[in-house]
Amino acid sequence: MNYFFEWLMTGTVSSHEKNNPLDFLEEIVVDNSWPHNRVNENTLYVEIGGQGCDFFLSLAWSQDSNLLQYTFTYNMKIRDDSYDSLCNLINIINRQLCFGHFELWMEDGWIIFRNSIFAKYEKDSLQDQISQIFSLSISECEKYYPAFQFLLFENKSPKDAIAASMINTLGEA
């Protein structure tokens, strides 16, 4: 479990009223000394350590629509010759997801998980809402990370990569 998720599950919202959920999220980031960049009032970038790899979290807030858009980007190198296979794998994965979706940004060579939530700020529910959504998102990113690894570095087919990544192990090494 990563530190961001742990804090969301145990931390508390500060007592002063805020209208922008990025203010709340920035408090968490600053309190934990996580690398971040608050570009403007409506954009926050955070680096998050995961179990398999690090993620770059991009958060964008639209006050007009009360929409919080978030994107987890894998910190992994994508080869140009793997784009077709990656698109096939992403298609297989996306059919299994209940919310959000994976994308391949070919121009930048990034695999991302993206979603958005309606996040009207209410002091008592924002922390629970964000912790649930982010814990599910991080869980999905961690779950499918091995499939991307198998495809990119083991040269497995999309079907074989997803099958190999879904093997459950028993016990600990």
Which domains, ranges and CATH numbers included, belong to the chain? 3-80+99-144 (3.30.1460)
pLDDT over 50 (residue 157) = yes
Q: In the 8-state DSSP scheme, what is residue 150?
A: H
Measured between its terminal Cα atoms, the distance across the chain in Å is: 18
Q: Outline where the chain has alpha helix (H).
A: 3-10, 21-31, 83-94, 123-153, 158-165
Q: Outline where 95-157 has alpha helix (H).
A: 123-153
Q: State the average pLDDT over residues 129-156.
A: 87
pLDDT over 90 (residue 159) = yes
Confidence of residue 94 (pLDDT cuts 50, 70, 90): very high
pLDDT over 70 (residue 52) = yes
Query: Which of 25 and 172 is assigned the larger pLDDT?
Result: 25
Using CA atoms, how far apart are residues 2 and 65, in angstroms rounded to an integer? 30
Q: State the average pLDDT over residues 9-22.
A: 56
Q: State the average pLDDT over residues 130-152.
A: 87
Pairing of strands 101-105, 67-74: unpaired
* Tokens encoding 14: 């500060």
* Tokens encoding 170: 């028993």
Q: In the 8-state DSSP scheme, what is residue 42?
A: T
**Maximum Cα–Cα distance for the chain, whole Å?**
52
Amino acid residing at 128? D
Q: Which residues sit opposite 44 in a β-bridge? A: 38, 59
Give helix 158-165 / helix 123-153 axis angle, nearest 10°.
Answer: 120
pLDDT over 80 (residue 151) = yes
Q: Report helix, strand or coil for 49.
A: strand
Q: 138, 2 in Cβ contact below 8 A?
A: yes
